Structure 1
Amino acid sequence: MTRIKREILFWQAQWLFYLVLFWCRTEAQLRYAIPEELKEGSVVGNIAEDIGLGISDISIRKLRIASESGKQYFSLHQRNGELLVSEIIDRERLCGKSTSCVLPLQVIIEDPLEFYRVDVDIQDINDNSPHFHSDTNIIEVPESTVTGAKFRLETAEDPDVGLNSLRNYSLSKSEYFVLNVKSSKDGTKVPELVIQKPVDREKQSVHHLILTAIDGGNPVRSGTTHINVRILDSNDNAPAFERDLHEVQVMENTAPGTLVLTVKANDVDDGVNGDIVYSFGAHTPEAVQTLFTINSETGDIILSGILDYETSTSYKFDIRARDKGTLALESHCEIRVEVLDVNDNVPEITIASLPQPVKEDASVGTTVALIALKDWDSGDNGKVQLHMSPDYPFKLKPSFSNHFALVTDGILDREKFPEYRIELKASDSGSPALSSFNTITVKVLDVNDNAPIFSHPLYTVYARENCPPGSLLSSVSASDMDIGENAKISYAIIDSKTHTVSIPSYFYINSENGTIFSMHSFDYEKIKMFQVLVQAKDHGSPSLSSNATVHVFILDQNDNAPAIIYPSAIMGSVSHQRMSRTAKAGHLVTKVTAVDADSGHNAWMFYRLVEATDMSLFSVNLHTGEVRTKRSVSEQDDTSQRLIIEIKDNGEPVQSSTVTVDILLEEGLPEPVSDIQQKNTNYGKNNKITFYLILALASVSVLSLMTFFVLVVKCARQGRGGTMCCIRRSDSDGYKNPNRNLQIQLNTDGPIKYVEVLGGDVLSQSQSFGSCLSPLSEFSDFTLVKPSSTIDFKEINVLDASLPDTAWTFESQQVSNFLFFD
């Protein structure tokens, strides 16, 4: 035990020397050299320091090791990063007689992912002495054997390699025998006993010798065996093999029962002394005798077991040929069977690290996983290639021998492919080639690269006016192709103005579900449409957004009663009109004109005579409001006639207004134009007075036309070609409300000339005055009527009076005045 401890201390010191001498690091690969038999806990090297990793980074970046051999001979100190021996390593058990014994390790850093390879070279120490299989060997030598005859001795075995392996043999001193050591083709030392002096059985029948095997270690180790040489009587000739060495190659997939080779030996003796029996050598390993059998008579060597190149690449054993003489003689030949590799091992794909999830905006070249390949075959059969489909945005990047990194090689899009199942194929170069498959699943992490998208870019909403605040108007919705917080959407109304009105003050949107509510009651007569800009914004970082437009159209309700603009009672609630008693049936007495601030059906108005002093005398047109006589005035009719006229709209519920008109029947008023023209026709030739009156009136009319000619020309240039010009004074308040779609009609029936206004708003209390001249007037005088109500209209354009009533329609903001010709 003391000797063994000294050897261990010696080799520990030698290991430190090797560690400094042989350690190196090249391109993500470390190499250490240690002697075998190191005790548990011995330090191999500091991996963390050698790869440039700080002590604090060991746990943060998750430094770990993995063994490629399947057995954990080493461990990693998690505090300082030292590589420690976790199990005593027996080099002979691990690598046998191989001159190189390297244990590969994988050093993996998880965050971010890095990969290193560590090779630990196990150095041999002289911990094994040469030994023989038998403590005693018996050799029979016929006394007739000539000087120089050789007898092969048992070879010793030493599990150590290199300098520590078997180097020589020595033989105890003898005057009859000397030792001859020959080297075989593979360098093996084979001892032979050589007769240097004829032996005589009668003098000494048994010779006792000691054979010593010596290795080249320091200190030297040795082993011995006793050789008893028995002297036999003559069987003069020993069998002789045709060849001392037989070499044969056998495929590893050769079927049991196949003839491997046949050995042949000859013996010149006659009879039983020349009969030969073949057998394995005395010290043939049991493994050889399990795999091979020999026919004792023919020398046929037959394969009886299954060869495996990966277990052993060659076999070496001896065949003995012995005759059947009384003093049997024998000879030996060496058999070397080389096992040829067959591609019978499928390549193995090992995922060295778990695939890391990768963000969809990861740059090209980002490492996802580490892959290692292994094939137990040799030569071309062990050359492996790794393939994957080019359809994936990934590629395989070679790292070092049979190691690859799976890296990104294109643009990732989680919305299209949230996960990739990448099939790897490993194929060797054998014939036929063998392949294996493995699948790597790579998950793609979401990045906020998609803005919310509205289901419609434009929404149309209809809301009734006067709806209560808080009413549900509509709902918008947007979707986001991202997931998680990147897909969570909030809705908001972007601050803007419509008709100088702040949109957020009129509308509220639920930020979570996009439901839009009203915050105020709407007034169609003020604002008919709102344009609401809604924004959908996700919760990503940075957040993305998109907009949609919501057009809110206000639907009119019948909330305005008709407003009577003519006739207007200036001093009271009753309008007073005058009519000649000579009026005939169908005479236009007056016309009731009203406007309704509503629109559409709600602004359609109907006129009805609800009460009159004499219902048989007057009628009211349902649609125009014209008041005409139903018959001629008689002397029995009251001088004062009162009419109550109701104006209703077409809305729901119906709104109405009434106006009271007092008509005074008088004598001596000018007759209607049609009557005067009739009288002029009937009596023109006979009544000179009438002629002079007509001439005087015509003269006055011409002068009047010339007076206003300049004004007519100016109006014609500025207007739209009308023959009627109005000189107006704008309101002092500068009102600029939008158009109210007023319809203007000029009525010239009967003695009363007036302008009819259909539609519009009662918007101002200020009054305007204007002067108008009609070229169609049959009289030289005209009357300027000032409206008695507070209704104020602007921008009236008067068209050609010769056009029919239906053509007198145009859009205007407000009517500024009314002109009546009497």
Structure 2
Amino acid sequence: MTQVVNADTDEPLEPPSEFIIKVQDINDNPPQFIEGPYRASVPEMSPVGTPVTRVTATDADDPVYGNSAKLVYSILEGQPYFSVDPNSATIKIALHGMDREMREEYLVVIQAKDMGGHMGGLSGTTTVTITLTDINDNPPKFSKSLYEFIIPEDLPTGKMGGKVKANDRDIGENAKSTYSVIEGNDQGVFEIVTDPQTQEGLLRLKKPLDYESKRAYTLKVEATNVRFEPSSGGPFKDTATVKIVVEDADEPPVFSKPMYSLEVNENAPINTVIGTVNARDPDSTGSSVRYFIDRHTDLERQFNINVDDGKITLAKPLDRETDMWHNITVTATEISRAIVAIRVMDINDNAPEFATEYEAFLCENGKPGQVIQTVSAVDKDDPIQGHYFDYRLVPEMLNNPNFTIKNNQDNSISVLAKHDTFRRQKQEMYFLPIIVTDNGNPPMSSTNTLTIRVCGCSKDGIVQSCNVEAYVLPIGLSMGALIAILACIILLLVIVVLFVTLRRHKNEPLIIKDDEDVRENIIRYDDEGGGEEDTEAFDIATLQNPDGINGYLPRKDIKPDLQFMPRAGQHSGPNGVDVDEFINVRLHEADNDPTAPPYDSIQIYGYEGRGSIAGSLSSLETASSDSDQNYDYLREWGPRFRRLGELYSVGESDRET
């Protein structure tokens, strides 16, 4: 709503005006199946045009304006089995004779397109899973046309003597059948009933069998579907022949009378024949019968019986007054023995498997079609017709780009390479699952995996190395050569470290500074001298201190707890040189000094000797071009100085320098 007003007074100059703005719709929304994906079912064998289900799509655009919301339906996937009405989106059967036993489920893709299906329109899709439901269109079928059973004649009535089975490709109620005997059972000896769990026909005995009267029966049995649809055709039944052989059983002997009554005088002598019992073997073999008296019924052993003919005789005298009646029991038995050898007949209950755990090796430089491994199988079963194995790759490996198999027609296969671009860096090992099936009934199968290693080979195809590590080495170097090179590098590093260490030790100064603790800076000279040549190289008389032998200077490496008084030393002449005695005195003082520490230390003499022909030892620190030579000189004489006086020391002026 709008209105014109005075800008100064803010008063309206005209009445308000109302404007209506209408938004024009454009096709910017695709069709959508809100309720998808869909599931539907339809009976198998439905005629063409039978509706299956209906799908619905919605479009958010304005249905009034143009064709933005006008939808047209089409089928993208599911032909030629199904079709869809372009306007109502009703899915219908499009193919005659769709059989559930051949294929049970179908996936249909439906598209909805706006703009009346014209070019430029937007579209949306949904899926419909259609299942064919079962109808009774398959009759039962016996797995065999002839069944043979052997039933012993002493099988109790009501017991099962055999089983038959009619298979039906239908499912549920459509697969259920009933069994009946339609021929050969005039005397009503047998009956057949249906097992509700397994749908098998159980042949049971209704009357006792008698081998001696009838030894075989031939029956005709029928299996009929419980329910069927007349429109599906027929008949929905099947018949089979059942032959029954009655097996003779070992029946006990039968007496001629159930009870015998005999008479004898009480004064009859011993061994008098009182009477005879008779029994026969009902079996066809007519085995001999033997007779025995049950002694539990004749405790006094008054009677005997002949085991062969059944004649009863008197064993002891009788007394009627004592016992008027004697009731004894006679047992008739047949004795026959036979050795029975039982052979177990084989059934196919073991799956075939690889003859061994194969591990194949594939050369990188192999050729396409090259045989990698020959594989055979074994089976624990022993069929009469012999073994025949069928080999195939698992379904996931049918399009394997690397390997294939070839039947060698001798129960073995060859595994072949498809290309020559195998590389260990890419993949070192392959696993090839192979299904092996035998020819038994029912057939048994197992999945076995063949391991294939990619190896480096010579030009002649001889495997040299199957490790990935060997392949990343420099060209022309083996693992052993690389190890040798590394060992040499490590040895060179050790030599360099030792050389630098020794060089550093060689350049360390030999003179101890004043501010260092002498106990932590003991200088050791481990080089041996040159023997007699050393006495000629240096005059030992320079160590003599004529002015200091009468005095004592305390050791400066420790602070003694007790003051040690100096001892009077021996004097030598002013110009005499008694080095041996001088050294011995110093050694004696050092050995008997109670304030000396229990470790090597520097013995300090305090000053230079006067008149030393060697001059001051401080010349070691003066600028000289042969400083290294002076250090070598001290290093050579060090061990002898230590042996003579523990260690030697420079004078006060030298230490300051």
Which fold has the larger relative contact order, with Cα–Cα distance below 8 Å and residues 6 or more apart in sequence?
Answer: 2
Pairwise same-fold verdict (TM > 0.5): no
Shorter-chain TM-score: what band?
A: 0.3 to 0.5
Relative to the length of structure 1, the TM-score reads 0.30
Higher strand share: 1
Relative to the length of structure 2, the TM-score reads 0.37
